[in-house]
Amino acid sequence: MRISRALFRMSATPAAVVRTPERAEELRTSLAEIRARVQQAASANASANRQPTLVAVSKYKPASDILECYEDGQRNFGENYVQELVDKAAQLPADIRWHFIGTFQTNKSKILASIPNLYAVQTVGSVKGADALSKQLTTRTTPLNVLLQVNTSGEGAKSGLPPLTSSPAPEDAELVQLARHIVSSCPHLHLQGLMTIGSLTESLHVTVKPNEDFEKLKQTRDLLEEALAAEKGKWGEDGRLLLSMGMSSDFEAALRTGSDIVRVGTGIFGSRPKKEEVKSAAS
Ligand SMILES: *Cc1c(COP(=O)(O)O)cnc(C)c1O
C-alpha cells in the first residue's frame, strides 16, 4: 500500500503504470455513470441522428487510468499537452483515438503529426496552423480530422475565432476563410466540425436551460454549412459538421442542444491538480 501510494505521487508525470483494484473499480463506476448520463441526455434531443462520442479527457492522469478505461471499452481520449500526449500514446494501445484539445501552437505541428493514432485536433484556429499541420502529415494514409475552435463566450482568455451570426455568413469572416482554406488547400486535413468551451457560469448547477454559447456554436455550424454548400462531401460526417461542446459540468445541456462530441475529464477521472502544482512536482 505504501509503495503504491508513493508511485501514484510520482505519476504526476504520467509515466508509471500503477494499477490497483480500487482505482479500477472507481473508474469503472464513474465511466458507467457518465455513459448513462450521455445516453439519457442524447435521447432527450429528438433531432440527434447519431450516437454522441464521449471523449475521456485524461490530462494529468496516469497512463494506468487510461488503460483501465480502455479495458472497459473506452477508445476516445483527449489530451491538452503535446509532450504528455506523445508520451502516453507511445505506451498505450495503438487503437486509441487521441484527440488533441489543448492550445494548438504551430511550432508543435511536427511532434503532433508524429503520433500515428492521433484522431483529431480540435483546436485549429488559423490558416497558418492548418498549413503547418497539413504539411507535416504527408505520410498519413488518411487525412487528420480537425475541428475549428470558436470563442462563443467572447472571453479574452479563451482561444478561438468569433462565431458567425448573420445569414449569409460574410465571406471575409475568419471562420469562413479558414474553413474554405482547409477544404480547398489542406489535402492532409479533414474539416470535421467545430469546437467550443463556452462560459462556465452554469457549471455548478444542473440546469435545463440550454447554454447560450452552445446555441451560438450550433448557429455558427448551420451558417458555415450554408457557406460551404458547394463543397458538400468534402467536409463533415454524413454531410454535417460535428459539434464538440460540453464538459463535466455542462455536457448534458450541450447534448440537449445537439452536441456530437462531449469532452469529460473530472467526471470520469476525478479532480486534477492545478497546472502550477504539476509543474512544481515535476521540477
Ligand atoms: C480539461 C478540458 C476538458 C475537460 O474538463 P472537465 O471539466 O474536467 O470535464 C474539456 N475540454 C477542454 C478543452 C479541456 O481543456
Distance CA(251)–CA(176), nearest Å, equals 27
- pLDDT for res 205: 55
Number of domains in the chain: 1
Within-domain flag for 1: no
**Cα 75 from chain centre:** 13
pLDDT score of 263 more than 60: yes
Q: How confident is the model at residue 273 (pLDDT cuts 50, 70, 90)?
A: confident
Comparing 10-19, 107-116, 144-153, 270-279, the range with the smallest average pLDDT is: 10-19
Distance CA(144)–CA(133), nearest Å, equals 9
Q: Is 263 in the pocket of ligand 1 (CB under 6 A)?
A: yes
For ligand 1, the distance from its centroid to the CA atom of residue 247, given in whole angstroms, is 6
Q: Which three cell numbers stand for residue 239?
A: 454531410
Within-domain flag for 9: no
The closest-lying atom of ligand 1 relative to the alpha carbon of residue 249 is 7
Structural domain boundaries, residue 32: 21-269
CA atoms within 13 A of residue 55's CA, in its CB half-sphere? 26
- Assign residue 147 the CATH number of its domain: 3.20.20.10
What mean pLDDT comes out for the span 110-137? 97
**Tens digit of each residue's pLDDT (9 = 90 or more) over 157-198:** 778 999 999 999 999 999 999 999 999 999 999 999 999 998
Q: Which three cell numbers stand for residue 234?
A: 468534402
Q: Of the candidates 75, 70, 52, 66, which has an alpha carbon nearest to the alpha carbon of residue 15?
A: 66
Q: How confident is the model at residue 10 (pLDDT cuts 50, 70, 90)?
A: very low
Query: Between 108 and 4, where is the model more confident?
Result: 108
Distance CA(230)–CA(183), nearest Å, equals 11
Q: Is 265 in the pocket of ligand 1 (CB under 6 A)?
A: yes
**Tens digit of each residue's pLDDT (9 = 90 or more) over 195-236:** 999 886 544 555 545 589 999 999 999 999 999 999 999 999
The closest-lying atom of ligand 1 relative to the alpha carbon of residue 266 is 8
- pLDDT for res 154: 85
For ligand 1, the distance from its centroid to the CA atom of residue 23, given in whole angstroms, is 21
pLDDT score of 105 more than 60: yes
Q: Is 197 in the pocket of ligand 1 (CB under 6 A)?
A: yes
The closest-lying atom of ligand 1 relative to the alpha carbon of residue 123 is 13
Query: Between 276 and 120, where is the model more confident?
Result: 120
For the packed helices 63-71 and 21-43, what is the interaxial angle rounded to 10 degrees? 60
Within-domain flag for 248: yes
Distance CA(40)–CA(259), nearest Å, equals 13
Amino acid at 166: S
Provide the residue count of the chain.
Answer: 283
For ligand 1, the distance from its centroid to the CA atom of residue 75, given in whole angstroms, is 17
Q: Which three cell numbers stand for residue 267?
A: 467526471
Q: Which three cell numbers stand for residue 12?
A: 504526476
Q: Is 182 in the pocket of ligand 1 (CB under 6 A)?
A: no
For ligand 1, the distance from its centroid to the CA atom of residue 116, given in whole angstroms, is 23
Rg (CA), the chain: 19
Q: Is the peptide bond before 116 cis (omega within 30 degrees of 0)?
A: no
Q: What is the DSSP letter of 79?
A: E
Within-domain flag for 122: yes
- pLDDT for res 153: 86
- pLDDT for res 7: 41
User: Rounded to 5 degrees, what are φ and ψ at 233?
Assistant: 100, -20
The closest-lying atom of ligand 1 relative to the alpha carbon of residue 267 is 9
pLDDT score of 13 more than 50: no
Within-domain flag for 4: no
